[in-house]
Amino acid sequence: MHKQPNLARAWTQLTTLQVTQPYFFHLANYLYRILPQIIQTAPRLERLIIIGNAISGQSRDLVSLTKNVKPLAEIKHLEIHRSGIALEDIQEWLQLIGGHLLSLTFSGCSTITSVPWATFLSCVKNSCPRLEAVTIEDMLVGLECLTVQYDGEGLADALDDVIWKFEEADWY
């Protein structure tokens, strides 16, 4: 009988991981089991890219799956594309990984949440002291489609400005 290989050794050189939401249920279930293991055991993982299926409600599962996973490596770049996201799930994860995060991108996402954007962005500002870039592209917020990009010097002030705009607009 064959012994299962130690998959943790397969990820030793992995620096970027791009995960796409499978369309088939059995593949999604397998991904949901293996993704946390990869994140927890890849010693050099710096960039995590999650690509969901915005049409399917399953893409939220892929994002929220990571909220309690403590990565072995210091994830520096997080990108989430075409996903339904609960901001509270991302907030929880940012409290684990935010200290090392340099860039944060949301593209083509919609929010499924009761957490206001202003609260979420305050969490980003407080949990990610090394953050150098924030990109929000075509994010469906209420009935509006939002696109903002900030990088470099003055990021904290720019986030304060966006937080104020969200508070004024009362957007969720």
Closest CA to 101 of 70, 57, 132: 132
pLDDT at 19: 93
Does residue 111 fall inside a structural domain? Answer: yes
Which residue do the tokens 């710096």 mark? 46
Which whole number is the average pLDDT over 60-78?
A: 85
Does residue 75 fall inside a structural domain? Answer: yes
Q: Which CATH number fits the domain that encloses residue 23?
A: 3.80.10
- The count of domains in the chain is 1
Does residue 86 fall inside a structural domain? Answer: yes
Domain span holding position 72: 16-169
Does residue 93 fall inside a structural domain? Answer: yes
Does residue 1 fall inside a structural domain? Answer: no
Winning range, highest mean pLDDT, from 30-39, 40-49, 161-170: 40-49
Which whole number is the average pLDDT over 70-94?
A: 90
List all residues 6 or more positions away from 63 whose beta carbon is below 8 Å from its beta carbon. Answer: 50, 52, 80, 83, 84, 85, 86, 89, 90
Does residue 9 fall inside a structural domain? Answer: no
Does residue 101 fall inside a structural domain? Answer: yes
Does residue 30 fall inside a structural domain? Answer: yes
State the pairing for strand pair 133-141/103-107.
parallel
Alpha-carbon span 82 to 99, nearest angstrom: 25
Q: What is the pTM of this model?
A: 0.87
pLDDT at 1: 46
